Structure 1
C-alpha cells in the first residue's frame, strides 16, 4: 500500500511542522532528507515533484504532490482537533499562520539561518532582521498573556506553525528569556507534540 512521502530538511522549521503534524495524527509516512544548503531541493528529480524547488513537499498516497507548509498542514489536519470547529476561531488560526509566514519566519528563521548555518557574524547581518524578529516575539508575548495557546484552549495549527522557528530563535540571537509567556508556551507546545528543545 502506498504511503505518504515527506521531502524535507531537518534543519527547516517549515519541514518539521509537517513532520510534527503527521506524528501527532499518527499518520504513516516516509521521510526523504533534502539538504537545501547543498541545493538538493533544486535537482531535476525534486523540481519534477515541486517546480518551486522548495521543501517541504509531500507526495500523497495517491501520487499527487503538495507544497508550502501551510497548505500541507491544512490538508493533513482537515477534520482533526488541530483545526478549531468554530468558524471565527478557524479564521484566527489562519490569521496567525499567514502572519507567521509574512511577519515572523522571514526575520527569525532567516536570521537564524544566517547565523547558525552560514556562520555570518551579527555585524554582517541586516539589522532589520533582528528588529522585526524582536517585534514578532513581542507580539507573541502579548497574545500569549491571554491564554496558553494562540487560539482557544488547546493546541491548533497556529501553535505548531509558530513554535517551529520560535523555539530555536535563540540560534538567531534572540533572547527568549525576555519573553516569559512565549518561553512557557514553547514548553507546553513541545510537550503536546512530544518533542524536546
Structure 2
C-alpha cells in the first residue's frame, strides 16, 4: 500500500482537520506542504490532482479526495468519531454543513484577511460586518456546548474536530472567545484527546 499523503498548508484550519484526525487515530501519513498564498495550488502538477486548485488534498493509493469534511468522513470510518447509528450520523453531518456554510465564512475568512493578507485596517468596515456572522456561529455553538460536552452529545465526533479548526484560532481574526466559556472548556477537552494538538502556523 502506498503511504497516505496530505497536501496542505500549515496554518490552514481545513488542512489541520484531517491531519489532527489521522494523528488521533494513529493513521500514518506524509505531509506535503503547499504554499497557497504564492500560487502553490495553481501549478499544472497540482491542478492535475485537484482541478479546483485548493488544499487540503488527500492522496490514498493513487486516488485523490478534496474537501476537508469529506476527508473526515472517509478517515473516521469504523471509528467512534463517525457514528453508525443513522440519527447520530445525521447530527454529525448537520454540524459539518454548519461549519462550512455558517461558521467558516465568518471566522476563517476574517482571519485570512487579517493574518495572511494584512488587510486589518484597509478592510476594517468589511471585517467588522463579517465578524457579525462569525459571532452568530459561535453563539450557536456556545448554546449547544452549554447543554452537552460535545457538539452531538456525550461523545466526541468528527464534528468537534471540524468546528475546532477555526474556532481555536479565532482570536487571530479579532474574535473574543472569552465571551464563550462553554466553547473554551470544550476546546480544552478536545486538546486533551490523544494526538490532537493546536494548530501551528
Q: TM-score normalized by structure 1? A: 0.95
Shift of 1:155: 1.1
**Residue 173 (structure 2) aligns with:** 172
Q: Is the 8 A contact 1:89 1:152 kept in 2?
A: no
Coordinate RMSD, CA, aligned: 1.3
Offset, 1:116: 1.2
Runs of 4+ residues over 3 Å off in structure 1: none
User: Alpha-carbon deviation of 1:122?
Assistant: 4.6
- The answer to whether residue 119 in structure 2 is matched with residue 117 in structure 1 is no
Residue of structure 1 in register with 2:89 after alignment: 90
TM-score of the aligned structures, taking structure 2 as reference length: 0.94
Does the Cα contact within 8 Å between 2:21 and 2:196 map onto a contact in 1? Answer: no
Q: What SS does the corresponding residue of 2:191 show, helix, strand or coil?
A: helix
The superposition leaves residues 92-149 of structure 1 with CA deviations (integer Å, 9 ceiling, x where unpaired) of 1100000100000011001001111111125614132110001011111101011110
Q: Does 1:162 align with 2:163?
A: yes
> Does structure 2 conserve the Cα–Cα contact (< 8 Å) formed by 1:17 and 1:161?
yes
Q: Which residue does 1:68 correspond to in 2?
A: 67
Query: Does the aligned pair in 2 maintain the 1:8–1:33 contact within 8 Å?
Result: yes
Q: CA deviation at 1:196?
A: 3.9
Partner of 1:194: 196
- Unpaired runs of 5+ in structure 2? none
1:11 and 1:195 mapped to 2: Cα distance? 13
Whether contact under 8 Å (1:7, 1:31) holds in the other structure is yes
CA deviation string 1:17-74 (max 9, x = no partner) = 01011111111111000011111011111101101000000110x2111100011111
Q: Does 1:104 align with 2:107?
A: no
Partner Cα distance (1:29, 1:84) in 2: 23
Contact 1:17 1:69 in 2 (8 A): yes
Q: 1:188 to 1:122 in 2, by over 3 A?
A: farther
**Is 1:7–1:32's contact at 8 Å kept on the other side of the alignment?**
yes
What displacement does 1:79 show? Answer: 1.2
Q: Which residue of 2 aligns with 1:55?
A: 55
The DSSP-based 3-state class of the residue aligned with 2:45 is helix
Q: 175-184 or 126-135, which moves further after superposition?
A: 126-135
CA deviation after TM superposition for structure 1 residue 2, in Å: 1.2
Pairs aligned (count): 196
